Chain A
Amino acid sequence: MLENFSFRTIVEYLPLFGQGLITTVWLSALSFVGALAVGIVLCAMNLQRGWLFRAPAKAYIDAVRATPLLAQLYFLYFGLPRLGFVLPELVVGILALSLNSGAYVAEIIRAGILSIPRGQVEASVASGMTYVQRMRLVILPQAFKVTIPPLLGQAIVLVKDSALLSLISVAELTRAGQLLASDRFMPAEGFLTIAAFYLLLYYCLKGLAALSSRWLGTAGART
């Protein structure tokens, strides 16, 4: 059975895989930055006392978490042009990933902030700090530490989710596998190769997570 497995074809297609990998990396990175921005705004809205900001944020987070990413992607890709917004596939893809991941990021950040003991808020309130001062000086620096590991977990999810962009013909890693599969009828070679590349990306992010937790671990020991 292995004699049918063509390493030669894989090597031949390597430049294509390489391009796909690079596209996956930068579009995931960009989407993650977008997700952080979306997440911070949503989380800030969600932590307000009045429902005016909180209700829309909660509705958005629920809507994103309750529906498949594929449906969201198709809505943006096929639906937006009907509403008069025509955007390139790549932009739609990054937008979809940012908006989707942002909802999860918002919940991660919120959990981080809520994990800070009530006494920290009270101590900073009692010393006369304003809301912005106590967020900036007391709450966020502590929340940041507990938020980093789950945020990297979300980044790993985002990289895998970016495979869906192949369905709107973004030339990323999965798309490269699909091309090999359809051009040469070699799905095993195509998809096994991209799996290996995803694994590589996974280990890179995991290494980053380990590094950050070691760094945060030493920082934590000082506290």
Chain B
Amino acid sequence: MTKTGMIDFRGVNKWFGALNVLKDITLSVEPREVVVVCGPSGSGKSTLIRCINGLETIKDGDLIVDGQRLGDPATNMTQLRTEIGFVFQSFNLYPHKTALENVTLAPIHVRKIPRAEAEQAGRELLAKVGLADKVDAYPAQLSGGQQQRVAIARCLGMRPKIMLFDEPTSALDPEMISEVLDVMVAVAEEGMTMMVVTHEMGFARKVAQRVVFMDAGAIVESGTPDEFFSHPRTDRSRAFLSKILRH
């Protein structure tokens, strides 16, 4: 038995109908490691991280998260999900709840933390992401960057072991990207295990230990940010990098 990481893909395959969206994925993410996943549109990178918390199910192979095998009858998926924060491209805040309520909803009802304690923690988290003055604002009253920061605080409120980010800055106006990335850097520096689907190369260079490049459902290349950005080894990664770095 090999040593298992925090997130362990072993020969994972997934199909959407006839389309092989994940091809024989083997990847291990260590505790406290930050892995950036990049690749062209439709390469399967979002699907890859959506499998980790069971938003997508895998067809074959093993996916072991925090020591529990997904799809195993002994694995309590609902329980496991409380250990995994997921940040969406489109934020998906609850529109009928204030920023603070968005952060405290799951801690109160899922983690069963007393309301006063959850609200105290929620205020601290919102302050940490720079939104101390927005605790009572509804999502529609916040900018995209502010909404995404609330969404990150919402995940942190559950005190997860893993944080997954699915293109967290792709839906944002350019001037709001850095405020979200700053928060993500802070989370990474606290030692969170993270997988981040993004094309933000500055972020990758700053905090990622590893960059994984995917194309057509397969992991084509993986290495440190320096190796990957300075000396891409495959034609496909070179072509991809030339496109995203040109301007």
Within 8 Å CB of B158, what residues of A?
A: 127-128
B154 touches A (CB below 8 Å)? yes
B96 touches A125 (CB 8 A): no
Chain A residues with CB under 8 Å of B90's CB are: 119
Given A122-B55, A133-B109, A138-B94: A222 and B138 within 8 A (CB)?
yes
Complex partner residue of A130 from B55, B78, B85, B88, CB under 8 angstroms = B78
A9 within 8 A of B: no
Q: Would you call A142 and B96 a contact (CB within 8 A)?
A: yes
For residue A123, CB closer than 8 A to chain B, the reply is: yes
Q: How far is the CA of A138 from the CA of B84 in the complex (A)?
A: 19
Interface size bucket, B side? 20 to 34
CA distance A117 to B110 in the complex (A): 22
**Nearest CB in chain B to that of A120: its residue:** B92
Interface size of A by CB at 8 A reads 21
Which residues does chain A contribute within 8 Å of B78, judged by CB atoms? 128-130
Known A-B contacts A223-B138, A223-B140; A128 and B94 likewise in contact (beta carbons under 8 Å): no
A residues near B93, Cβ cutoff 8 Å: 123
**Interface residue A188 (Cβ < 8 Å from any Cβ of B):** no
Q: Which of A119, A137, A145, A223 contacts B105 (CB 8 A)?
A: A137
A83 beta carbon closer than 8 Å to chain B: no
* Contact call B94/A120, Cβ cutoff below 8 A: yes
Name A141's contact: one of B84, B96, B140 (CB within 8 Å): B96
In the complex, the chain B residue whose C-beta lies closest to that of A131 is B78
Q: List 13 A-B contacts (CB under 8 A).
A: A119-B92, A120-B94, A126-B86, A127-B110, A128-B79, A128-B81, A128-B82, A129-B110, A133-B109, A138-B105, A141-B96, A221-B140, A222-B138
